[in-house]
Chain A
Amino acid sequence: MADTQEIITGLFPKATFEEGDILTVVIDDSQWHDLAKALRDTPELSYDFLVTIVGMDWVEKLGCIYYLTSTKYNKRIAVKISTADRENPALTSVADLWHIAGIYEREVYDFFGIVFLGNPDMRRLFLSIDWKGFPLRKDYDASPEVNPVPQDNERQSDFTNVYSRAEDGKIECRQERVFEENDFVVNIGPQHPATHGVLRFRTAVDGETIKKIDVYMGYIHRGVEKICESLTYPQTLHFMDRLDYFSAHPYHHGLCLAIEEAAGIEISRRAKVIRVMMDELSRIASHCLFIGTFCMDLGATTMLFYALRVREQILDIMDKTCGARMTFNYECVGGVMQDLAPDFVNDVKALLAVIPKNLKEYDKLFTGNVITKNRMEGVGVLSRENAISWGVTGPSGRASGWACDVRKTNPYSIYGELEFDEVVRSEGDSMARFKVRMDEIAQSARILEQLVDNIPDGEYCVKVPKVIKLPAGHWFRTVEGCRGTFGVYLESDGTTNPYRLKLVTPSLPAAAVVDSLTRGGKIADLITIGGSLDYIVPDIDR
């Protein structure tokens, strides 16, 4: 950590540092682009993965916190930049350094109205162009009269804005076309069975070849981050179920870890084991559903019925313990809500007995099929560099050879003691993404096998104060969801409500990368690629 600080001070004497959970650099906006370039390209630093951009409204100023990770040295750093101008806030874009930055900057613009100079596509991301105000600002007027439910079809624009600073210091706006003038643009979605929810691709095609895709999101943007600011910490938890509804347990786990770290609560070992077992059970259930829906997209409808058989068995286990099939709200601050059901151990053992047989069956039915191979092998190849630059984590990133499993890189809970392999493949195509998930089912089963007979006795939930107040400060935690790295940024001002709760979800990069993966491919490949990336639309939009 000290080395990083020295290198940065050497290059940028004006940079100041804040001590927190990780090293935080504060720098003026004029030097930010140079610093970003240095952070990425200096061999001793190589912060090549942009985890997220957290937009912030500190009332007296607006700003952003960039979280960067070095995949080479496995270190993390935060950079803070801000502007005092509330009327026309502008910061420098880093969209040319990290691909995903372009999308994250659009998100910040949508929520806070901060314009990024040099971003080639500065449109709103989730809200319509006619939306009044910027919802995550503290002075936002949320009354329904300001933004009523639209009665007309949404106004669309073929143009995007590019902002730059003129020589006299003023900000200039230039309009550019999203597509070329004579492009033939086809709409896929939002109501389309192959987009896995309400996602919309504006697709420019040349015959059947895709020229460009404009991923149009926001059809299920529910404003969870804003709602959380008006709720107490335990009340914010249940929204984690409704983002990526397959990763309900891991997401809960992530937010609980952040709150517990901030409040200084140590949970019992029994609770830790239960949480990890639930995480792995969800992972198996989630990957099973992925196999089912993905194969259905490719025309193999039968696979859905086979894959859902295992999923139903897992949902039964969850149902007995948590009392629900999907939105469990099971993990709570201090442990878990309920003790395990009496037949939990037997049910898990019965599940573990059938999983190897089922995996063999899936392989027989689908993986070796010649149509499958033709449609998946070599389709949508994502290189390792691009996976990191786009921030595609989870099984999709690991299929490109990027070992990004948070359970291995930053082991949390009891993952450090467990024996399991991180499944990494090098091909980076749709087939690799499919196979990684198949193999991860086996690895999750391996973790469950180690734990099922070793659930320690003890209390399942430690005593926590009735009203949870966190000290002022900020925390950033990541966990491995079923689809990749899930991050929670929590900023507290010392009250019972979060000042800012930013949720970093793996599906947003996965949807953003569709454009670059499909270029030059056929429309049928779009279905394969979209299915294999396995994004969940409420997880994209939050």
Chain B
Amino acid sequence: MEVTTKSMPYEAWKDNEYIESLVKELQDNGTNVIVGSFDKLINWGRSNSIWPLTFATSCCGIEFVSLGAARYDMARFGWEVARSSPRQADFIMVAGTIVHRMAPVLRRLYDQLAEPKYVIACGACAVSGGPFKKSYHVVMGVDKIIPVDVYLPGCPPRPEAMIYAIMQLSRKIKVEKFFGGVNRQESQKEFLAKHPIADVED
């Protein structure tokens, strides 16, 4: 099954093996014809209007601003509705370094996002700590605190790269099973069980 989005030719994607393995994993048990059709319809809608949370800690956030301005214009893709409240957003673009003091705050923001929710680790700091690998106060990758869907390297990534990353996310959303067993949520539950926070019900 060739999964693509925004008229991007399938061959132009760099990691088709991954998406194919994901499709295989999700559809191993077969799909119900009726539910599957509904899935396709609703995922078409969802993948074309993913709303980001306005969240930026450092340099990557400024490139995200450029992404919203006229030149790169993410409104073309339906992502321009950046919400300031996590309860109205679909995904967090973790744009910038996350440090020890910020870690519980980010986790709380993630918990406040409405299901289904997604995370893009944007920039070298969010992916792995980046240039601050030797620091005493930096979290070495946000995947230590929250589950990540798309990793986007770069310091900071160019706006074009950000477009590519969000398109990857939209492609992932397209193959999900929205009705019935949402496979993604299972892995998310496992992750949250392994990373408990006191006084927070997951």
A residues adjacent to B (C-beta < 8 A) = 126-128, 135, 140, 142, 147, 149-154, 190-193, 197-198, 218-224, 226-227, 230, 238-239, 241-242, 245-246, 289, 293, 304-305, 308-309, 311-312, 315, 325-327, 537-538
Contact = CB atoms under 8 A, between A and B. Distances in A.
A226 B96 CA distance: 20
Lowest 3 A-B CB distances belong to which pairs? A308-B69, A245-B59, A223-B135
B197 A149 contact: no
A227 B100 contact: no
Interface in B186-202: 195-199
B57 A537 contact: yes
Contacts of A245: 58-59, 62
B103 A327 contact: no
21 contacts: A135-B136, A147-B136, A150-B100, A154-B101, A190-B105, A219-B105, A220-B57, A220-B97, A220-B102, A227-B132, A227-B135, A238-B131, A241-B59, A289-B62, A308-B65, A309-B71, A312-B66, A315-B66, A325-B158, A326-B59, A327-B155
Nearest to A235: B131
Interface SS of A by simple majority: loop
A328 to B, nearest CB: 11
Contact of A239 (B65, B131, B195): B131
Given A220-B58, A222-B137, A238-B131, 20 more contacts: A128-B100, A135-B137, A149-B103, A149-B145, A150-B101, A151-B198, A153-B197, A154-B104, A197-B56, A220-B102, A221-B137, A222-B132, A223-B132, A224-B135, A242-B58, A308-B69, A308-B71, A312-B71, A537-B57, A538-B58
A370 B132 CA distance: 46
A525 to B, nearest CB: 20
A180 B158 CA distance: 47
Counting contact residues on chain B (CB < 8 A from A), the size range is 35 or more
B104 A153 contact: yes
B54 A193 contact: yes
Interface SS of B by simple majority: loop
Nearest to B84: A193
Contacts of B70: 305, 308-309
Contacts of A221: 99, 101, 137
B94 to A, nearest CB: 12
Contacts of B76: none
Contact of A128 (B56, B57, B101, B199): B101
